[in-house]
Amino acid sequence: MTSNVYIARQPILTSENQTYGYELLFRSLQDDGSLKPAFDDEMLATTRVVVNALNHIGLQKLVGENYAFINIDEELLLDDILLTIPKDRFILELLEHIEMRDEVFERILELKKQGYILALDDAHCDPNFIEKFQRIFPYIDILKLDVSLINTEILDERIYALKQFDFKLLAEKVETREQYNYYKSIGCELFQGYFFAEPDIVQKKNIDPAYKNIFKLINMLDSDTKVEQIARAFEVQPEITIQLLRFMNSGLLGLRSNIRSIGHAINLLGKRPLKQWLLLIAFAKSQDQSSGFNSPLISLALSRSKLMAELMKQSAKNKAMSHEAALVGILSLIDVITQTSLEVVLSELHIDQELKQALLTREGDLGVLLELAISMEHFEIDKANLLLEKLELSHKELEEALLSVM
Quick one: 180 and 232 in the same domain? no
Quick one: 152 and 264 in the same domain? no
Quick one: 164 and 52 in the same domain? yes
Q: What is the largest CA-CA distance in the chain?
A: 87
- Can you give the pLDDT at residue 293? 41
Quick one: 188 and 229 in the same domain? no
- Can you give the pLDDT at residue 289? 42
- 3-class SS of residue 8: strand
Supply the range of the domain harboring residue 164. Answer: 2-203
| CATH number reported for the structural domain that contains residue 341 in this entry | 1.10.3210.10
- 3-class SS of residue 28: strand
In this structure, what DSSP letter does residue 341 have? Answer: -
Quick one: 174 and 221 in the same domain? no
Residue 13 CB coordination number (10 Å): 21
- Can you give the pLDDT at residue 50? 81
Quick one: 105 and 137 in the same domain? yes
The residue out of 154, 187, 203 marking a domain boundary is 203
| CATH number reported for the structural domain that contains residue 33 in this entry | 3.20.20.450
- Can you give the pLDDT at residue 189? 94
- 3-class SS of residue 199: coil
Mean pLDDT for each 10-residue chunk of the chain (406 residues)?
68 89 76 51 76 75 88 89 86 92 95 95 85 93 93 84 89 91 93 82 61 77 85 85 80 67 87 82 59 60 87 80 87 80 82 90 93 87 90 88 78
Domains identified in the chain, total number: 2
Quick one: 255 and 182 in the same domain? no
In this structure, what DSSP letter does residue 32 have? Answer: T
Closest to 198 (Cα-Cα) out of 168, 171, 169, 174: 174
Dihedral in degrees, nearest 10, Cα atoms 186, 187, 190, 192 = -10
- Can you give the pLDDT at residue 82? 86
- Can you give the pLDDT at residue 252? 55
Quick one: 153 and 231 in the same domain? no
CB contact at 8 A, 53 and 41: no
CB contact at 8 A, 345 and 334: yes
Euclidean distance between CA atoms 312 and 322, whole angstroms: 5
Instruction: Label residues 160-192 b or e (16+ Cβ within 10 Å = b).
Output: eebeeeebbbbbbbbeeeebbebbeebebbbbb
- Can you give the pLDDT at residue 406? 66
Quick one: 252 and 221 in the same domain? yes
Quick one: 170 and 216 in the same domain? no
Residue 395 CB coordination number (10 Å): 10
What is the H or E stretch that residue 355 is in? helix 353-361
What is the H or E stretch that residue 336 is in? helix 334-338
